[in-house]
Amino acid sequence: MTTQDLRLEAGLDEMSGLITRFTAGEGAHETALAGVTLHRASAPRPRVHGVQNPCICVIAQGAKRVMLGEEVYIYDRARYLVASVDLPASGQVIEASAEKPYLAIKIDVDPHEIAALLLEAAPPRAAEAIPARGLFVSKTSPELVDAFVRMLRLLEAPEDIPALAPAAQREILYRVLKGEEGFRLRQIANASSHAKRIAKTIEWLRRHFNEPLRVDDLASQASMSASAFHEHFRAMTAMSPLQFQKQLRLQEARQLLLSESLDAATAGHRVGYESPSQFSREYSRLFGAPPATDMRRLRVNSISKRNTSQSYHEHFGRGFVCEPFPRAGIQAVHHVVQF
């Protein structure tokens, strides 16, 4: 092993120890550090659906896979994951045991902080391909791990957090921006970029997912032609605007079915479906069973899986529900898909 490899392994080992110390049990653990969550699992977990918020996720031990559309991203100690925009996704811990639990840290990303950092200390610019996917994995570096470790050490001295945490988190963001895939994150801070305009459209869709979708209107909001908007939207999200809206609607409907005990027709109508049969077909296609069958399956296992569902809710944002992973015939990728 090289000196850099040894440094990386030592840093990840210290990170594992710190996460273990500050996670008393299974699931997600909020910390005194704003926007920072620690995660622990002692066994592989079921697949869960939800909306991935902008964040950086680093694994100190174990492995996980995240699915976006038809793409699967796998990350572990050697690779970290970044989401630059809100994306409908699903995820599953795939490597964990009682002896070597899955240990990870997630830090939320604010595009405004990226913009401010770029104004003050812009890292070297890589060749930028526009548009680029809003979810990616990249090689974990010793410098990035060291920055995370320094931030985690602040949990040992909470009185230092207000003064030192902002600088520690800025260093983490800087290391990611400077990394081999950092241009993907830089794009959302550039007000004139296609990525920034698509990101604003995504924010609008999240607020208005239950309303009729008019692509021409969205393209106009983004100051693009309809064809250019389709191209850039798919490049960032791995799906069309209609598919994106559909995923948001179906995930919200599933939550309504679970939390409010609605019938399928009412839940479908609540999220914007006019046809109950269309809602049932598309629900079955995404979740593998019609609404009634899916609810019976989930409720039978609700007690044993309640804590798991909560932990993923905290990890990914909102609306994650546990289920088996995955459909056959989808190829997993260990590195970011090239466009």
pLDDT tens, position by position, 285-321: 999 899 999 998 887 765 454 544 443 344 444 334 3
CATH topology of domain 194-304: Arc Repressor Mutant, subunit A (1.10.10)
Token reading at 2 = 């090289």
C-alpha span between 93 and 102 (Å, rounded): 8
Task: Let me know the angle formed at the C-alpha of 212 by 210 and 214, rounded to the nearest 5 degrees.
Answer: 135
Q: What's phi and psi for 109, nearest 5 deg?
A: -115, 130
* pTM of the shown model: 0.84
CA distances from 146 to 10, 159, 171, 186 (A): 10, 21, 10, 22
Q: Is 174 helix (H, G, I), strand (E, B) or coil?
A: helix
CA distances from 250 to 27, 91, 118, 278 (A): 25, 16, 37, 11
> Does residue 44 contact residue 94 with C-beta atoms inside 8 Å?
yes
| Mean pLDDT of all residues in 179-192 | 84
Q: Is the previous residue joined to 326 through a cis bond, with omega within 30 degrees of 0?
A: yes
Residue 312: the pLDDT is 38
Closest CA to 109 of 131, 89, 84: 84
pLDDT at 330 over 60: no
Task: Let me know the angle formed at the C-alpha of 183 by 177 and 189, rounded to the nearest 5 degrees.
Answer: 80
pLDDT at 233 over 90: yes
Q: Where is pLDDT greater, at 288 or 14?
A: 14
Task: Let me know the angle formed at the C-alpha of 123 by 117 and 129, rounded to the nearest 5 degrees.
Answer: 105
pLDDT at 335 over 90: no
Q: Supply the Cα-derived Rg of the chain in whole angstroms.
A: 20
Closest CA to 105 of 81, 85, 89, 86: 81
Q: What is the DSSP letter of 188?
A: G
pLDDT at 176 over 90: yes
Q: Where is pLDDT greater, at 282 or 111?
A: 282
Task: Let me know the angle formed at the C-alpha of 93 by 90 and 94, rounded to the nearest 5 degrees.
Answer: 115
Q: Where is pLDDT greater, at 252 or 336?
A: 252
C-alpha span between 44 and 62 (Å, rounded): 9
pLDDT tens, position by position, 68-94: 999 999 999 999 999 999 999 999 999
C-alpha span between 309 and 314 (Å, rounded): 9
Q: Is 117 helix (H, G, I), strand (E, B) or coil?
A: helix
User: Can you identify the CATH homologous superfamily of domain 3-190?
Assistant: Regulatory protein AraC (2.60.120.280)
pLDDT band at 125 (very low <50, low <70, confident <90, very high): low
| Mean pLDDT of all residues in 162-177 | 95
Q: Where is pLDDT greater, at 54 or 121?
A: 54
C-alpha span between 179 and 190 (Å, rounded): 18
pLDDT at 200 over 70: yes
pLDDT band at 327 (very low <50, low <70, confident <90, very high): very low
Task: Let me know the angle formed at the C-alpha of 337 by 11 and 319, rounded to the nearest 5 degrees.
Answer: 75
Q: Where is pLDDT greater, at 297 or 35?
A: 35
Residue 315: the pLDDT is 40
Token reading at 18 = 């710190």
Q: Is 193 helix (H, G, I), strand (E, B) or coil?
A: coil
Closest CA to 317 of 36, 41, 53: 53
In the numeric block, the tokens 């809602």 are attached to 279
Strand ranges for the chain from DSSP E: 27-30, 36-41, 47-52, 55-61, 63-68, 71-76, 79-83, 87-95, 102-108, 135-139, 317-323, 332-333
Lowest mean pLDDT segment, chosen from 274-278, 293-297, 322-326: 322-326
Residue 180: the pLDDT is 87
Domain boundaries, the chain: 3-190, 194-304
| Mean pLDDT of all residues in 234-261 | 93
| Mean pLDDT of all residues in 13-17 | 98
> Does residue 307 contact residue 27 with C-beta atoms inside 8 Å?
yes
